[in-house]
Amino acid sequence: MSKYSIEEFIKKTKQDDNENDYFELETPRILEVNLTDQVWAKAGSMISYNGQIKFEREGILEHGVGRMFKKALTGEGTSLMKAEGSGRLYLADQGKKITILHLDDESITVNGNDLLAFEPGIEWDIKLMKKIAGMMSGGLFNVTLKGTGRVAITSHYEPLTLLVTPYDPVITDPHATVAWSGILEPEFQTDISFKTFLGRGSGESIQMKFSGEGFVIVQPFEEIYTNGNSS
């Protein structure tokens, strides 16, 4: 049989029926959710499913007025959908690489654009970085997740994790910052001298400074935000 035959292609790319964890990486860029109850996922990330699954956008009163008010400020980029039922659900986000993290009574803060899905038992809250809302197009929002369960995040290409220690703070470009450990609180600083080198004629270079103990995940790509969405 030719290595380029349809049969050979199917054999190499078909779903793996032996995998039945709640979250599975079907490929590095496609997440399989073996749904038995419900899951939160980025709106528009469903690419396929089978079984009895229904989808609905996050309800206005789902998490109280305060959180919805923050959501309105940050634009459609924060939109989440809830999938309920049983079956196999496949999620993806513009071909970005997917990483699954298991939180064990821990917390992590994820750039809103890089959050793909999380188990329903995990608490979450949207945070708008108000200090830089006027400096960056569309501002910058993040989702803090805490509890026990799995979270799927995305990155353009392979992510890099940088360790933060009390003696060695880490400074990152907000556009390339994917997530950080929940106990860290980034400060924002500007560097006017950098703007010439970065080719950004208007405004200063905005940087995130992480101090303390924890980690920061970055990607080799700068996402551009417009009204809360990446372009």
| Chain segment 88-124, per-residue pLDDT in tens | 999 999 999 999 999 999 999 999 889 999 998 899 8
Find all residues with CB under 8 Å of 196, minimum gap 6, and list them.
none
Cβ burial 103-134 (10 Å sphere, 16+ → b, else e): beeeebbbbbbbbbbbbeebebebebbeeeee
Q: What angle (nearest 5°) sits at the alpha carbon of residue 112, between those of residues 85 and 190?
A: 175
Residue with tokens 């690489």: 97
Please name the CATH architecture into which domain 17-230 falls. 4-Layer Sandwich (3.60)
Q: Side chain identity at 119, as an amino acid letter?
A: E
Q: Are 220 and 156 in contact (CB under 8 A)?
A: yes
The Cα–Cα gap between 54 and 141 comes to 28
Question: What are the residue boundaries of the structural domains of the chain, listed by start?
Answer: 17-230
The Cα–Cα gap between 193 and 85 comes to 54
Q: 184: which 2 tokens?
A: 């860290």
The pLDDT value given to residue 73: 46
The pLDDT value given to residue 69: 46
Q: 90: which 2 tokens?
A: 């496949």
Q: Are 54 and 85 in contact (CB under 8 A)?
A: yes
Q: Are 161 and 201 in contact (CB under 8 A)?
A: no
The pLDDT value given to residue 63: 54
Residues in the chain predicted with pLDDT less than 50, given as ranges, are 60-61, 65, 69, 72-74, 76-77, 138, 201-202, 226-231
The Cα–Cα gap between 86 and 52 comes to 6
The pLDDT value given to residue 10: 82
The pLDDT value given to residue 35: 95
The pLDDT value given to residue 155: 96
Q: Are 174 and 140 in contact (CB under 8 A)?
A: yes
